Structure 1
């Protein structure tokens, strides 16, 4: 009789969909099941999800994956969970059901209130939690519901109320412990986690009106979260890891060491640089580059810095679907690969504003340098070149804050399939660009690595990483002088756009006098 293969059941619960799959000792991701999730925006600034539906769909994909495991002779030995970050839930511990729609991380309904608090608090928050007050707060959201929503207030008075992010919500339902807990890679994004001390900033929470008694207990990203409930999933195995999806993705791509940088291309392009166990020396000096807990295990935190370009994949969708300039992103890449330059055309993919070199929501996308001689292929090249330049600026901003030299860039996500884009990226950064295999499954693989690297499937994370492999490597093909000239032109275009924003603001100010 063939011995069953040991595997880890991995969950990747994102914003637009939830997935479950099996990860084996070879690092391969199999038996993947996926279903979509709905995000609602009933009014400007409000972004919500039904946490009860999210839970039900997550359980459904897990059960489907487990059925596949049975058919294929796989033995599940642990559960690992990666989740979207900073999406908050309030639930009744008697019924196990969410009392109000979850506040999604994209929500900005309290931006004005947080801006008023920022004057007194930003200088305190930046050096401790690695970010300013920001534009959304799960804690402020919960505090408002405690005052304004009768069902929430009643559950609180009856000591039946629980609060947490999606990791807390899923762990409470899946674990036999029934404890309300959270992990550093999730807590960091909620803007009240003291990075160096693995604790909450209670004075900030008090200023937001949030009761400390409602806080989830802080654990590690790789930890013992109890065992799964057989009545929920039909299995009884340990839950050994829970982390934010972006940081789990970094682990799954093999991005573990100081100096390694990662870019995941999706709707936007998120760029992380691993710093190591020491906090970056310039932490908090920029509102656009945030310090993250990359992972915490074995009693030690490892940190990274992160910035992003909000509209890259979505910019290509906009160009193709709304402007109809190209059939799809593949055509853009194919046309760009057929020319050697943009012919002087530049594209700034700032459809919702800029983050680098400064936070400027009023900045807008721009296409410059067009003449009667401009071709469609040159515009295609400029579009990808603009994304590559934007990512390069993110890498530079991360490097400046971290004080760590960047050794390589590992890439994943949809746009990483474009050879033309990745060659531009190598040329503009002067770095080797590694496109990893199965990049679209990096979060699933990474959370399994965290769960299984204490002897279950691997001896440590380094051994787990050895199962990853590059699909392709792109080396710089231009010299330093040409690189500097291209970057200088980009910086000049960005300065021009920021100058335009400042001129418009000054004009409005004068008109208001």
Structure 2
């Protein structure tokens, strides 16, 4: 191998970042661009898969040009991606049949209610995920039933389904590979954790042909090669892992009982639990494949709040009380506390452990003395409370006592938010200097896949600088604050159904 450059495609919910890493986990170049999210109705979030692919190509070229390198100068490619977003395309032409339905979309909420009595317990027990609009299987069903002629084409075996990783691998390989990584498969609401196969009984009930589904591959290992006619080079794609799982790995959480929390568009707490899935259908907590490498599968528990970082963006773009997301810290720091204001950031419903797609964002406790500073502070605090809502359940299911949590993602740069997280959860919070953990996780997985590192532990031989935040408040204060939050959550529930 003449070099050890790893190109990473980080396909997020709002944009594409392409990075080039070396074998010491250092970023040598990166390029980023946003792509549109479309909202044709209040409950809909859509993307154009072709726009995502075009943005990916442009950012690959830009990152390579920065170092005056070609694609063939890369040792391998890693991909990490937003999860559960549903793309359906024509197998022959590669043309998407409709816009992609994004994981935040709630158009299938009424369908969830219809299916609840017969299927809720069953699919949760088999897939590890509570029945909710985030299920890719429900998005597939919606597209088949609502886009003219699509169902007939699917039944003829002409169409392919995939999440964004599947779509990018398909495009990069010139249509040669229709795959999905194990981590991504496990968050589609279509994969049976108990059998390690697509959940045929469920898909049959939804009248979704199995022929649409991709082959499930390891998250690390050579999955395919880029098509030189498409990309200008032939390079192995050797790491494909869902974003939260990538961050879990990048934070060095490779032993059961280790946890990380990613603050991005949503906030995700993941706890590695070992080689056996643990599913508790009363908890609202998800069980998923953390990653699969050389056929060995590790599982994790996850609690997530779907709208946290995007609530800060709403303060900027919707309410227009801050000029940038970064400004939230300085504005919130102008007041000593929230002034009695609580913000439940359920702008697109509540995720774990409530799974209420009809909940809506709620600000309570406004008085004549309330200022924008209190609103901004309450938003940051609401992100943390959302995490506390599921950490207790995760500890109960796993049997692990969480003493420390590693944090990453854009909002984790905010010291006020991270300190409040330590205070409210009563645990140590550890933050690396580089909080872009998702792309690093994909780089490590890709490097493992081609032998740059011999094993998982060798990936972390290069130490990362870390900052520690310890709890500073007492248990009584912590509990009083949290009980008030729970009252606020109850006020937000089922709001759009009233």
TM-score of the superposition, structure 2-length normalised? 0.88
Structure 2 Cα separation of the partners of residues 375 and 45 of structure 1: 30
Partner residue of 2:454?
Answer: 459
Partner residue of 1:473?
Answer: 468
Partner residue of 1:219?
Answer: 217
1:422 corresponds, among 418, 428, 443, to 418
User: How far is 1:310 from its partner?
Assistant: 3.4
User: How far is 1:27 from its partner?
Assistant: 0.5
- Deviation digits for residues 111-162 of structure 1, max 9, x if unmatched? 2123211210111111211123312443344445556645545654765432
| 8 A contact 2:344–2:492 mirrored in 1 | no
3-state SS of 1:41 partner = coil
Structure 2 Cα separation of the partners of residues 385 and 357 of structure 1: 18
- Deviation digits for residues 467-508 of structure 1, max 9, x if unmatched? 351342112334xxx1x21232123213433554689999x7
1:304 corresponds, among 300, 304, 326, to 300
3-state SS of 1:61 partner = helix
Structure 2 Cα separation of the partners of residues 145 and 327 of structure 1: 38
Partner residue of 1:244?
Answer: 242
**Aligned pairs for 1:173-252 within 5 A:** 173-175=171-173, 178-252=176-250
2:38 corresponds, among 16, 40, 43, to 40
Partner residue of 2:93?
Answer: 95
Say if 1:95 and 1:401 are closer, same or farther in 2 by CA, change over 3 A.
same
3-state SS of 2:221 partner = coil
3-state SS of 2:37 partner = coil
- Deviation digits for residues 30-76 of structure 1, max 9, x if unmatched? 22122221111223333222212221221222233233344499931
| 8 A contact 2:261–2:267 mirrored in 1 | yes
- Deviation digits for residues 412-469 of structure 1, max 9, x if unmatched? 12221222222222222232211112213x2221111111125622121222123351
1:342 aligns with 2:340: no
Partner residue of 1:511?
Answer: none
| 8 A contact 1:449–1:464 mirrored in 2 | yes
Structure 2 Cα separation of the partners of residues 50 and 464 of structure 1: 35
Partner residue of 2:27?
Answer: 29
Structure 2 Cα separation of the partners of residues 447 and 248 of structure 1: 6
- Deviation digits for residues 305-325 of structure 1, max 9, x if unmatched? 222233433333444555565
Which deviates more, 151-160 or 119-128?
151-160
1:434 aligns with 2:430: yes
| 8 A contact 2:359–2:492 mirrored in 1 | yes
User: How far is 1:204 from its partner?
Assistant: 0.2
| 8 A contact 1:312–1:349 mirrored in 2 | no
Partner residue of 2:74?
Answer: 76
Structure 1: runs of 5+ lacking an equivalent: 509-513
Structure 2 Cα separation of the partners of residues 498 and 33 of structure 1: 39
User: How far is 1:251 from its partner?
Assistant: 1.8
| 8 A contact 2:132–2:355 mirrored in 1 | no
Partner residue of 1:488?
Answer: 479
**Aligned pairs for 1:94-493 within 5 A:** 94-143=92-141, 145-146=143-144, 149=147, 152=150, 155-156=153-154, 159-175=157-173, 178-280=176-278, 282-287=279-284, 289-319=285-315, 322-323=318-319, 330-334=326-330, 341-342=336-337, 345-352=340-347, 353-355=349-351, 358-360=354-356, 361-362=358-359, 364-368=361-365, 382-440=378-436, 442-454=437-449, 456-478=451-473, 482=474, 484-493=475-484
| 8 A contact 1:126–1:285 mirrored in 2 | no
Structure 1 Cα separation of the partners of residues 268 and 253 of structure 2: 14
- Deviation digits for residues 370-401 of structure 1, max 9, x if unmatched? 686x8887776555444333323332232233
Structure 2 Cα separation of the partners of residues 381 and 160 of structure 1: 51
3-state SS of 2:248 partner = helix
3-state SS of 1:295 partner = strand
User: How far is 1:191 from its partner?
Assistant: 0.3
Say if 1:96 and 1:267 are closer, same or farther in 2 by CA, change over 3 A.
closer
| 8 A contact 1:385–1:421 mirrored in 2 | yes
User: How far is 1:250 from its partner?
Assistant: 2.0
- Deviation digits for residues 222-271 of structure 1, max 9, x if unmatched? 13212221111122222111111221122223233222221221233222
- Deviation digits for residues 173-231 of structure 1, max 9, x if unmatched? 22378132112211122101112432111000000100112221111111321222111
Indicate the structure (1 or 2) with the bigger Cα radius of gyration. Answer: 1
| 8 A contact 1:177–1:226 mirrored in 2 | no
| 8 A contact 1:293–1:302 mirrored in 2 | yes
Structure 2: runs of 5+ lacking an equivalent: none
Structure 2 Cα separation of the partners of residues 16 and 502 of structure 1: 27
Say if 1:234 and 1:118 are closer, same or farther in 2 by CA, change over 3 A.
same
Count of residue pairs brought into register by the alignment: 496
